[in-house]
Structure 1
Amino acid sequence: MKLTPLWLALCSLPALACGPDGCETPLTLQLTAAQCHLNGLPFLSPDNDTRTNLALLLADEQAFSLPKSPLPLPFAIEDLLNPTQAEPAPAVPDPLLALAAGLGIEQNTTQAALERAAGWSEGRCISNNPVAAEAFLQALVDTPALGADERSQLARQRLAMLGQCAQQIETAPEDKAMPLSAAGQGFADYLAASRLFYQGEFAQADALFAALAGQDQPWLKETADYMRIRVALNQSQQSAFDDWGTLDRNQIDQAAVQRAEQFIADYRSRYPEGRYLDSANGLLRRLAWFKGDEAALASLFQQASRQPGNPELLNEIDLKLLMQPGFTGSAAMPQLTLVQDLRRLRLHESWDEWQPLQSGELTQQNAQFASNPAWLAYLQQAERYYLAKDYAAVIAAAPALGKGPLDNLAFSQQVLKGMALAASQALPEAEQQWRALLASQPTPLQDQLLQLALAMTLERAGRLEQVFAKESPIQSVHYRIPLLEYVAPAPLLRRMVQDEQASDTLRQRAGHTLRYKQLTHGDYRGFLQDLALAPLAAPFDWQGSQEYQCPALTAVVTTLADNPKSPRALNCLGEFFLSQGLDWDPLLQRPGADTLAGSRDLFAGQQRSRLDWYQQVIANPKAAKEEKAYALYRAINCYAPSGNNSCGSQEIPLSQRKGWFNTLKRQYGTSQWAKQLKYYW
């Protein structure tokens, strides 16, 4: 989707950030999950991406590492699973270069192979990568029975394969006729089997890998055993996926599935600490997915989740279980039941493939949560909040807040209590809850949510000044700026412009907002008086226009300060807004009522738009003909070419726009503006 100027403007706002598709992500504790792609908050919420909730649960079990740095809320799931490092790791030479050099291979040969491998690959070809090549070269180094020439020859053969797949893989011509020792022949046979595998000749590849079972070289023997698993798995799925990657289980080769399962069992038995054990377990999960065995798959995911540090596991769980229609949970991995129950507490849409959680359904899940009663208690608390809206019961059920840090489950319980207090309009108690949590050594992610919650509570309580107090715990500009832009009165904006302790970004936004609202709210004298606060910056340093004669903005505002109804000055103010693209200024698009900065704007006066000013001129009997003609011309063009108002929020009937056009043509037909305008919209 191409972002329009409107979306680009809106997406610059902290209060209404946008994804690459222009999707809104408002700042609130209760997102509308169905409105957009899912975003995330650092507590267990129905509106989170299911992977976010699962990550929070696994983090409590030290099976997943959450980002150590704060993320702007709501965060994208990609930022949670793959956080960017504050400082990039220093570049280190590829170990394959050093290994190859030690085997007598020129750097440019290895570098060419690495560049070839950098291209995109999928399926079985993914494993034909520098890491696999490095393991092969290291095995050559670790095999004393190989001579130097053999090592070099075999290394060249492996590098020649790197990055090639599903096509005829060539070997190095000069090496083809070189005689090999018995040890060297084993490596050569492995390379031949690998070439066949990557070319899709699975039966021949399996025969060669099977023949390597008698090898004495440990790496060769284990790797060949592992590759037989991959051969059988690839045989099982040869016809199972369509062009869109959709699995058709009816096309699975079940005999090949059974062979792969047996090979995995054999591998795990022979190599309980094997170098490919994690991969073999992952392939076993894939086979369970092929069979549609959700119980076995959940059990395997539970085993895999005990090993921390694998964000891709969450994606795999999401794809193969959580996204499957009808999957509501698993006794083998009750975290999945909790995640799916939360999902079913979302605002339900008719197209949703998951039925909403029914009242009383949680009592039937006691057995699943027998080992984790706190999970069930939280789900019951969430059901009271999101379904029953029994806020008093939510508050009463929340555990007492102790001292010290809270894990994600305990934190979520306290967040729901705070949300229930706010929903009950018990704002002083909600503020107390958020401040107590901020004092409990929150994680960076938790701290961001608490700042947002406290900011929203103070805003709703009419205590905006407390957000910007010197001792305020709300320091994130991500939350301060929206409140300045949409809610703050002129005195607070003025104070923040002058606050030398505030960031340059915040001071600049406060200054822009102050001047913008002084113009749109008709505070022309205030605009002139505040010129001393800071030098005029773009767009307010406008020097006027030539087509419709206008002086600099300060001169226009000076005229309006003396005569707010001046037709020429109002037209020129509109010209300033038009030429500077301010019709689409984000300040004209207020956040939703249930989001940060969604309360009443405290800036004095009524907001006006460019079309309002033109209408004032059109209605002014004292306006000169040229001024009225220009105002009519611009007012009609506000609806060009779509018929939608691009100058403000007014809905002017088509009949009235037609009347403007007729008036311009009949009464001011000799003006340049009437001559230029051919249509109305």
Structure 2
Amino acid sequence: MKLTPLWLALCSLPVLACGPDGCETPLTLQLTAAQCHLNGLPFLSPDNDTRTNLALLLADEQAFSLPDGALPLPFTVDALISPAVGDTGPAGPDPLLALASSLGIDAATTEAAITRANSWSEGRCISNNPVSAEAFLQALAQTPSLTTSDRSQLASQRLAMLGQCGQPLDATESTPQGENKAAPLSPAAQGFADYLTASQHFYQGEFVQADALFATLAEQDQPWLKETADYMRIRVALNLSQQNAFDDWGSLDRSRIDQAQWQRSEQLISDYRAHYPKGRYLDSATGLLRRLAWFKGDNELLASRYLQASQRQSAPELVNEIDLKLLMQPGFTGSAAMPMLTLVQDLRRLRIHDSWDEWQPLQAAELTQQAPQFARHAPWLAYLEQTSRYYLAKDYDAVVAAAPALGTGPLDNLAFSQQVLKGMALAARQAWPAAEQQWRALLANQPTPLQDQLLQLALAMTLERSGQLAQVFAKESPIRSDHYRIPLLEYVAPAPLLRRMARDEQASDLLRQRASYTLSYKQLTHGDYQDFLQDRAGSPATAPFDWQGSQDYQCPALTEVVTTLARTPNAPRALNCLGEFFLAQGLDWDPLLSRPGADTLAGSQDLFAGKQRSRLDWYQKVIANPKAAKEDKAYALYRAINCYAPSGSNGCGSQQVPVNQRKAWFNTLKQQYGTSQWAKQLKYYW
């Protein structure tokens, strides 16, 4: 087995900092606000991303759909609000392909247009997409007064526009009237041709020309053209109002908004909603009211718009929009129009704050002042008071006393959060039996898959800290996820438990492999040589423990090295060869040596018996052994000094040997063992 696959396998552990940016993902019920990515938990936690808490609250109002399945904790906000869609089998043909084909367009032309449209776009250009093109082609197909030639030419011209935005069409792509003079468009087709011309002006940013054409089209009798033109007049006015209001960095300067066009946009939206109460663009037009409220800088109006939107739609885009337009804005502490946002911001302000956070910590007196906002949401205020007691006052007894009695049946996210906070308070008091009872009762209370994951983590941490680690791995244990069981095996479990789980045929292959690897690794680093040999007897050799020795410094296979150490634990050559094995396999800084934090899962004391040793420890034993052969001592000196190459930091263990001692080793190697190949190879000490 090569070194890279081994490290990749070990770095799949959730508690390790193996990501490309070095960000850790701690397994704990209380994250840190400064934790990179603001990884989340499925309860209303101050340290969740604000979008996570917002999504949980919206889900309680039946205004958002959380993932049906489990997410290993902690999860990213994207995983919560934009879960990956499962494999639904082979995708069918793009409907635009079939529709274009029925209008006489060859597949290659349509596919090229779709590919072009899939490139990155922003702003007004986003709507120049295959969906809008399909709507246009559908209108062509449903207009009986058009000729076959009309439909083919107009469809070709619309497809040519796909992916073209902010610049004139390529000359080869044809213009709205086209260049096919042999087949002029019929009078019935002129409205559609004018629509394409107006749309081209719009996407090129020529809003005045587009406005005039769309106004004329709004007088058309053709239903699709008339409604679409009315809708596009809204978008034109909106773009006219904002065209000078953004700087090169995308920041809005409200003083530069064209107020006349802003007011016109609002009126056009009102007219559209009145004329088309079930219009095809109703959601989009209503959504543009939110943009107008944002332009105005009226947070209460904007919050009321979001409240209305949340009652009509459940989409990640809405959660992200609320977060960007309100929750992330400095100074926004909440809204009387949408008290849910006050709750989210209050939770944010209960975090452990760092200097980078612009929000001031929430004060208990503010909750009294906010009471009128929560008049219709008393449980929200009660939860804020509970979280304030836990995170600020650290009055855990009061948190436990204030928690509602646990009934039977599923809990919504708010009720679940209340019970989680009670369990956390019991754990903070180290009332382990009561905490265990709380988690087990919740696990028996029909939790959702998301809630179940949190409860497995909570119970695992409680059993770990109460000295009942074996209960995590009991046959009847509700802790089933390897995500929580493997870290406990790797960082806490004693040898008997590791041995049992390595042989447990009911466990997953991954868990058994980790248990086996951890057992072998710790047996070597803790000097448990006899058990290492016994456990590996009769078992197939597995990487990296199938090492067959080295040539430069004559070492036999690993099993022979360990056999020697089992008989003579201080055998110089065997100790050097054990170090050679660790060096060759890249095990000096195995992830098993990077222990989780004390407040995270698997952060308690390692129960594996004996003292952990490193490669440098073994070399030092040989250096200090007066009976060691010259070659063995020279090699140990050579390797011990090289542990600090080239930076001066120990790469073979955690101990820090003073530079004077390393200099003394170097002098000893050169003066007493100068004829050895190891002395000749070494030119410096670090």
Give your verdict on TM over 0.5.
yes
Cα separation, 2, equivalents of 1:19 and 1:562: 42
Q: Once the two structures are superposed, what CA deviation does each residue of 1:193-215 show, in whole Å capped at 9, x if it has no partner?
A: 00011111111111111111111
Cα separation, 2, equivalents of 1:7 and 1:558: 27
Q: Check 1:641–1:45 CA distance in 2 against 1; reply closer, same or farther (3 A cut).
A: same
Cα separation, 2, equivalents of 1:242 and 1:552: 68
- Cα deviation, residue 679, structure 1: 2.5
1:357 corresponding residue in structure 2: 362
Q: Are residues 1:568 and 2:573 paired?
A: yes
Q: Once the two structures are superposed, what CA deviation does each residue of 1:136-162 show, in whole Å capped at 9, x if it has no partner?
A: 000111112212211111111101111
Q: How does 1:175-574 map to 2 (within 5 A)?
A: 175=180, 178-532=183-537, 534-574=539-579
2:145 corresponding residue in structure 1: 145
Q: Once the two structures are superposed, what CA deviation does each residue of 1:29-54 show, in whole Å capped at 9, x if it has no partner?
A: 00112132200100000010110000
Q: Check 1:7–1:562 CA distance in 2 against 1; reply closer, same or farther (3 A cut).
A: closer
Q: Relative to structure 2, which stretch is displaced further, 637-646 or 56-65? A: 637-646
Tell me if the contact between 1:65 and 1:308 (Cα under 8 Å) persists in the aligned partners.
Answer: no
Cα separation, 1, equivalents of 2:664 and 2:88: 63
One-letter amino acid matched to 1:282: G
Classify the secondary structure of the residue corresponding to 1:437.
Answer: helix
Cα separation, 2, equivalents of 1:363 and 1:514: 56
- Cα deviation, residue 638, structure 1: 1.8
Q: Are residues 1:21 and 2:10 paired?
A: no
One-letter amino acid matched to 2:475: K
Cα separation, 2, equivalents of 1:666 and 1:383: 68
Cα separation, 2, equivalents of 1:630 and 1:679: 15
- Cα deviation, residue 6, structure 1: 12
Tell me if the contact between 1:190 and 1:209 (Cα under 8 Å) persists in the aligned partners.
Answer: yes
2:629 corresponding residue in structure 1: 624
Q: Relative to structure 2, which stretch is displaced further, 439-448 or 302-311? A: 302-311
Alpha-carbon RMSD: 1.8
One-letter amino acid matched to 1:647: C
Cα separation, 2, equivalents of 1:320 and 1:222: 29
Q: Relative to structure 2, which stretch is displaced further, 669-678 or 289-298? A: 669-678
Tell me if the contact between 1:521 and 1:606 (Cα under 8 Å) persists in the aligned partners.
Answer: yes
Tell me if the contact between 1:15 and 1:478 (Cα under 8 Å) persists in the aligned partners.
Answer: no
2:62 corresponding residue in structure 1: 62
Cα separation, 2, equivalents of 1:178 and 1:376: 71
Cα separation, 1, equivalents of 2:275 and 2:258: 26
Classify the secondary structure of the residue corresponding to 2:374.
Answer: coil
Task: Return 5+ residue gaps in structure 1 as ranges.
Answer: none
Q: Once the two structures are superposed, what CA deviation does each residue of 1:564-605 show, in whole Å capped at 9, x if it has no partner?
A: 111111111111111111112111111000000000111100
- Cα deviation, residue 113, structure 1: 1.1
Q: Are residues 1:674 and 2:679 paired?
A: yes
Q: Once the two structures are superposed, what CA deviation does each residue of 1:408-460 show, in whole Å capped at 9, x if it has no partner?
A: 00000000000000100100000000000000000000000000000000000
Correspondent of 2:665 among 660, 664, 671: 660
Cα separation, 1, equivalents of 2:536 and 2:181: 82
Cα separation, 2, equivalents of 1:6 and 1:543: 17
Q: Relative to structure 2, which stretch is displaced further, 109-118 or 191-200? A: 109-118
- Cα deviation, residue 620, structure 1: 1.7
Tell me if the contact between 1:103 and 1:152 (Cα under 8 Å) persists in the aligned partners.
Answer: yes
Q: Are residues 1:108 and 2:113 paired?
A: no
Classify the secondary structure of the residue corresponding to 2:506.
Answer: coil
Q: Check 1:511–1:596 CA distance in 2 against 1; reply closer, same or farther (3 A cut).
A: same
- Cα deviation, residue 177, structure 1: 6.5
Q: Once the two structures are superposed, what CA deviation does each residue of 1:492-529 show, in whole Å capped at 9, x if it has no partner?
A: 11111111111111111100000000000000001011
- Cα deviation, residue 19, structure 1: 4.4
1:599 corresponding residue in structure 2: 604
2:174 corresponding residue in structure 1: 171
Tell me if the contact between 1:459 and 1:599 (Cα under 8 Å) persists in the aligned partners.
Answer: yes
Q: How does 1:37-116 map to 2 (within 5 A)?
A: 37-116=37-116
Classify the secondary structure of the residue corresponding to 2:37.
Answer: coil
Q: Are residues 1:590 and 2:598 paired?
A: no
- Cα deviation, residue 17, structure 1: 5.9
Q: Check 1:648–1:569 CA distance in 2 against 1; reply closer, same or farther (3 A cut).
A: same
Q: Once the two structures are superposed, what CA deviation does each residue of 1:646-670 show, in whole Å capped at 9, x if it has no partner?
A: 2111122233223323332333232
Cα separation, 2, equivalents of 1:425 and 1:668: 58
Q: Check 1:289–1:18 CA distance in 2 against 1; reply closer, same or farther (3 A cut).
A: farther
Cα separation, 2, equivalents of 1:382 and 1:53: 14
Cα separation, 1, equivalents of 2:495 and 2:9: 23
Q: Check 1:297–1:658 CA distance in 2 against 1; reply closer, same or farther (3 A cut).
A: farther
One-letter amino acid matched to 2:51: R
Tell me if the contact between 2:16 and 2:591 (Cα under 8 Å) persists in the aligned partners.
Answer: no
Cα separation, 1, equivalents of 2:340 and 2:527: 57
Q: Once the two structures are superposed, what CA deviation does each residue of 1:582-636 show, in whole Å capped at 9, x if it has no partner?
A: 1121111110000000001111001111111112122222222222222222222
Give the TM-score normalised by the residue count of structure 2: 0.96
Cα separation, 1, equivalents of 2:570 and 2:258: 81
Q: Check 1:7–1:555 CA distance in 2 against 1; reply closer, same or farther (3 A cut).
A: closer
Q: Once the two structures are superposed, what CA deviation does each residue of 1:51-97 show, in whole Å capped at 9, x if it has no partner?
A: 00001001111111111111110001111112123434430111111
Q: Check 1:19–1:238 CA distance in 2 against 1; reply closer, same or farther (3 A cut).
A: farther
One-letter amino acid matched to 1:171: S
Q: Once the two structures are superposed, what CA deviation does each residue of 1:112-135 show, in whole Å capped at 9, x if it has no partner?
A: 211211222222111111000000
Cα separation, 1, equivalents of 2:148 and 2:199: 23
Classify the secondary structure of the residue corresponding to 2:372.
Answer: coil
Cα separation, 1, equivalents of 2:379 and 2:471: 35
Q: Relative to structure 2, which stretch is displaced further, 253-262 or 479-488? A: 253-262
Q: Once the two structures are superposed, what CA deviation does each residue of 1:155-179 show, in whole Å capped at 9, x if it has no partner?
A: 1110111111111114264436643
Q: Check 1:258–1:679 CA distance in 2 against 1; reply closer, same or farther (3 A cut).
A: farther
Task: Return 5+ residue gaps in structure 2 as ranges.
Answer: none
Cα separation, 1, equivalents of 2:467 and 2:246: 58
Cα separation, 2, equivalents of 1:112 and 1:182: 30
Q: Check 1:631–1:9 CA distance in 2 against 1; reply closer, same or farther (3 A cut).
A: farther
Q: Check 1:189–1:96 CA distance in 2 against 1; reply closer, same or farther (3 A cut).
A: same
- Cα deviation, residue 20, structure 1: 4.1
Q: Once the two structures are superposed, what CA deviation does each residue of 1:545-573 show, in whole Å capped at 9, x if it has no partner?
A: 11111111001100110111111111111
- Cα deviation, residue 10, structure 1: 6.7
Count of aligned residue pairs for this structure pair: 678
Tell me if the contact between 2:51 and 2:319 (Cα under 8 Å) persists in the aligned partners.
Answer: yes
Q: Check 1:203–1:243 CA distance in 2 against 1; reply closer, same or farther (3 A cut).
A: same
